[in-house]
Chain A
Amino acid sequence: MTENNELNALEEGIVAAIAAAADERALEEVRIGALGKKGAISEQLKSLGRMTPEERKVAGPILNGLKNSIGAAIEARRSDLANAALENRLKTERLDVTLPVRPEQTGSVHPVTQVWEEAIAIFAAMDFDVAEGPHIESDWYNFGALNMPDDHPARQEHDTFYFNAKPGSDERKVLRTHTSPVQIRTMENSTPPIRVIAPGRTFRSDSDMTHTPMFHQIEGLVIDGGTHMGHLKGCLEAFCKAYFEVDEVKMRFRPSHFPFTEPSMEVDIGCSWEDGELKIGVGDSWMEILGSGMVHPNVIRAGGLDPDRYQGFAFGMGIDRVAMLKYGMPDLRAFFEADIRWLRHYGFSALDVPTLAEGLSR
């Protein structure tokens, strides 16, 4: 049993050395001393060759078992040391998580674009297509075809921007004062049933807190065989509920006058001011949001259609104004000043694409 005692002593010595190894290098020395080419266990294993088969049968498993257990012990110790070393290193690698992140520029979409898309989403769901027309218009499309012949008093109320007549001509082009010329252009190029909206820039020579020389409108036009004022009211109410994202909206339809519609009406929505905050759809105040009416027979005729066969409604709504109402911008002029603070504050995220299914606004 002397051999066994020797082996036990060897094992104990190596195990102690493993436990004592303070780092991976020391551990490696222990490994070499035990399992290396000339290591203590390796030497013992070499002795197997000199043994008789019977001796080898007894000593072989013992020595191999020792080699394996020492190998496992070294690996376990190596793993512990590596973990401890990692822990130590990580302790020195602390970063200040309170430092601000790298700056990125955050862009935004202008409220006019946003509301324009909101309106399109709503009217598209009512089967309206979107039409457009030029900003520089002829007198005919802006006035004449809309039942405002020369010297019509309503022309004076439009504060029209004119271009100079070209040499040899007395025709003066105008900047369109409303989106209504698109009514005519649409009728000229389509066959009823017609259902279009026409959003875009409009221009009037006017400037104060609620008027700017350029602003945006959405024109609506429905022409078919039987659309009447009930449909007009229904369509506008549906729009207002969807746009303002309310279940009920108080609306007022006032008889009014536009040369291109007959009957004509202006539409107000009920609202209230509470603590400086505007609430839509409730309250005792009224806010005018659009003008509308049944398309005047002369206008249908000017569009190349037969007013005895076709009828329908039209409306013109201020995009900027409904944007102000919904999102609480106090001053129209600021829309067009490109003040970066305003754009960042009132603008919308690029990802806020308005859809009816996901909600128009967050």
Chain B
Amino acid sequence: MKFTLSWLKDFLDTDASASEIADVLTGIGLELESLHDPADELAPFTIARVIEARQHPNADRLRVCIVDTGNGGDPVQVVCGAPNARTGLIGVFAPAGTHIPGTGMDLKPGVIRGEASNGMLCSERELRISDDHDGIIDLPEDAPLGANFADYAGLSDPVIDIGVTPNRPDALGIYGIARDLAAKGIGTLKPFVATPVAGAFKSPIAVSLKFDDPDNAPCPLFVGRYIRGVKNGPSPARIQRLLRAVGLRPISALVDITNFMTLAYGRPLHVFDADKVTGNIHARLANAGEEIAALDGKTYTLDDTMTVIADDNIAEAIGGVIGGEPSGCSDETVNVFVESAWFDPIRTAKTGRRLAVISDARYRFERGVDPFFTQPGAEIATQMILDLCGGEASELVVAGTPPMRGATFDLRLDRVKTLAGVDIPADIQLDILARLGFEAAAEPDAANKVSIAIPPWRPDVHGEADLVEEITRIHGFDKIEHVALPRLRDVAKPSITLLQRRRFNTARALAARGLNEAVTWSFLPANQAELFGGGQAELQLGNPISTELSDMRPSLLPNLIAAAGRNAARGFADLAMSEVGQVYHGDEPDDEHLHASGIRAGNTTPRHWSGPPRPVDIYDAKADALAALAAAGAPVANLQTVAEGPDWYHPGRVGTLQLGPKIKLAHFGEVHPRVLAALDVAGPMVGFEVVLDAIPQPRGAKKTRPALGASDLQPVTRDFAFVVDDDVAAGALIRAARGADKVLITAVSVFDLFAGASIGEGKTSIAIEVTLQPRERTLTDAEIESVSGKIVAAVEKATGGTLRG
């Protein structure tokens, strides 16, 4: 919301400067967005006189002017192309070096067709004070030579722009802003004057409201007036200047008056060319499919939820939103009909949204225009029209009544202290409210409670808390003392949940393993969702920002894989990235799961003198998954690894880490080549997905650890190689070996794998190292032999393999 200082002063009697006012606005909730004085950029422009204007010797359309700048210096020669440049003209002069606002150019001394030119005589457009560029500014004879032109022309009128929150329609008029400033003590509000204009005749156009349910009418009040014999034309310079200063283009007096009313009072109006209206005017709901050619040059198709102002033939305006083109005013307009009506905010908002019309009227009506100002607005507008365009006004025609709650709310006079934490004396509280238009109905009662009537221009006030806000914001939030929150506990307690702890621990464990944590969108393209088991209708956005972000992610992998592809395209193909975040398997809260996932792509390390690089493989992903699970507190020692998993992994290179078939904690594997192809990413790439919320809750709160039980005796290792069928899982072999003597055997590792003709087709040799830990005394050869025998027997039984000879 923009306004100028002089315009504000129409309603506020104050000596405060623009910057003093700007400082206060933000503090009372009208946030200052900018403050600028158009005169600042006009400082170099002064009033000067053309001593002599003669024909340029080398150009028909140019004149050489000798200019007296009035500053006592030598006359300056200026080459000028304006048709009105003449001897004796008093104009506006800019010396060389001046920045010309209207052209954006810096003026340089020069020679134009052989004649020196050391400055410029300016048009209004060059000063950006109007669009006029037909000639240079031509001032009256008595204009003071050498004086600053902006001062002379009264152009020094600072423009203030504020952000108005949607609850404050009253501040969408300068009068309302003045009221707030006056309440704050910045001057005195000058009450508006809306003297009823006496009607000279009865309006030939009648108004009526045609709604099925008059108690809930979308337009409950319509005030109109016929004015005959007006003469439309440009509005006065000040109105033009004010409109231009706030970013509007002056059109004609009749149009400018409606814009002036909107800005000054927050009261949108419409003026019809009465000669283009057929019969009488009424407000009604539009007929479905009804069309209207609007003032913005577009034609809108309406539906039966929208309010229109119609004559006996057609809809002439969309109520509260925009006027119609056929009955708009022009320079030829002689008779007009002024409309001041009130439109339901919600319906106006919906209509505006559906039609995608943005207008100053809609902006105000959808936030709530003061219904009780409908008639005063019509009176003020009438007077302006009579003043600026002449003519004769009819009697007012009124249909309906202002819709108003007449609300009052109780205010406990200690409530500001208990809610806002600031002690403001009761009389000051009531004084602030009164300045804002909130009147106390009576003296405070025995409980120090007072009933406050809410003014009609404040539809946002719904109760005591709002009154506290009104008092406190005018008093000043800065006057509220800071108070530390009282401690609830002597020492802070852990504050995060188990799942949150898992989130952070896992993120850090993966970072420690060399993965770079990313945060990616919760949504992705539909085809990627489908590849990872998603794409369900209830997880598709109705209004996605793009088709690339249309579905909720069923897995963290696709975004990471796609990101790896983008990184590879930038030359970073070897990488490891992780994410810990939510995935979505349905639209209920329980369907959101916290996953920790990661991918590794390319080689584990770059080329290096110490050895060849190694491509990533599923054992990297398995190690990541195990590390994530360990960090999240999963019972890693009890996990089973089974050779199965979701179909976005390579079917022969996927594993699941589980605590039994029903508690699957993680998948890992090589990303399926078809998935990589669909995402247009090169392999190899491995990944893992850990379901953090599937990990069972730890039992009990035991902090002590079991005794260490380290033996002084040296462990003994023995190696075995077994020839087994290809499809025997190493895990089964390890498990069998470990199980052969659960006390003595403390570790089993696989140190060699071999397949070849020497051991037979379809066979693999798996070599293991078994660690035996003696507990009480050194093992004898016989004891070691006995354990070895048990290991061989157990492995052969479990795997069908044989000890390799």
Contact = CB atoms under 8 A, between A and B. Distances in A.
Interface of A: 99-100, 102-110, 112-113, 117, 120, 123-130, 132-136, 151, 153-154, 156-157, 161-164, 166, 172-173, 175, 193, 195, 201, 203, 205-207, 213-214, 222, 226-231, 233-235, 237-238, 252-257, 262-266, 294, 296-297, 311, 335-341, 343-344, 347, 349-351, 353
Contact of B510 (A107, A195, A262): A107
B237 to A, nearest CB: 37
Given A136-B587, A229-B422, A297-B463, A108 B545 contact: no
The 7 closest A-B pairs by CB, nearest first: A105-B514, A230-B421, A255-B29, A263-B469, A338-B563, A257-B165, A228-B421
B485 A193 contact: no
A256 B421 contact: no
Given A103-B608, A265-B477, 15 more contacts: A100-B608, A104-B514, A105-B515, A107-B516, A109-B508, A120-B500, A132-B499, A136-B552, A203-B522, A234-B483, A237-B482, A254-B29, A254-B477, A337-B566, A340-B577
Nearest to B164: A257
B610 interface: yes
Contact of B560 (A112, A235, A338, A347): A338
Contacts of A102: 605, 608, 610
Interface of B: 26-29, 31, 165-168, 345-346, 349-350, 353, 366-367, 417-422, 460, 463, 465-466, 468-469, 472-473, 477-478, 480-485, 487-489, 492-497, 499-500, 504, 507-523, 537-545, 549, 552, 559-560, 563, 566-567, 570, 572, 575-578, 580-582, 584, 587-589, 591-592, 604-606, 608-610
Nearest to B544: A161
A350 B509 contact: yes
Contact of B418 (A109, A162, A226, A233): A226
B477 A253 contact: yes
Contact of A117 (B417, B480, B504, B576): B504
A359 to B, nearest CB: 17
16 contacts: A102-B608, A105-B513, A124-B496, A127-B488, A130-B497, A133-B589, A135-B582, A156-B349, A162-B543, A175-B522, A175-B541, A201-B581, A230-B421, A233-B480, A263-B419, A297-B463
A110 B519 contact: yes
A254 B576 contact: no
Given A127-B488, A127-B492, A230-B481, A162 B541 contact: yes
A172 B496 CA distance: 31
Nearest to B500: A130
A284 B366 CA distance: 36
B511 A163 contact: no
Contacts of B493: 124, 127
A234 B484 contact: yes
A130 B500 CA distance: 9
Contacts of A344: 516
A213 B549 contact: yes
Nearest to B572: A340
A338 B549 contact: no
Given A127-B488, A164-B540, A294-B465, A229 B346 contact: no
A151 B549 CA distance: 27
Given A230-B481, A231-B485, A107 B576 contact: yes
Given A125-B492, A201-B582, A229 B519 contact: no
A276 B14 CA distance: 40
Contact of A343 (B346, B487, B545, B577): B577
A262 B472 CA distance: 11
Contact of A151 (B27, B346, B477): B346
A109 B418 CA distance: 43
A352 to B, nearest CB: 9
Most interface-central of B168, B473, B606 (chain A CB within 10 A): B473
B552 A128 contact: no
B542 A120 contact: no
A350 B500 contact: no
Contacts of B520: 336, 338
A130 B28 CA distance: 34
Given A153-B367, A193-B488, A173 B587 contact: yes
Contact of A120 (B31, B495, B559, B609): B495
Nearest to A225: B418
A341 B572 contact: yes
A207 B499 CA distance: 31
B492 A343 contact: no
B466 A172 contact: no
Contacts of A108: 511, 516-517
A132 B510 CA distance: 23
B515 A157 contact: no
A254 B31 contact: yes
Nearest to A147: B462
Most interface-central of B28, B349, B517 (chain A CB within 10 A): B517
B483 A231 contact: yes
A117 B488 CA distance: 21
Contacts of A339: 563, 566-567, 570
A311 B417 CA distance: 13
A164 B495 contact: no
Nearest to B576: A105
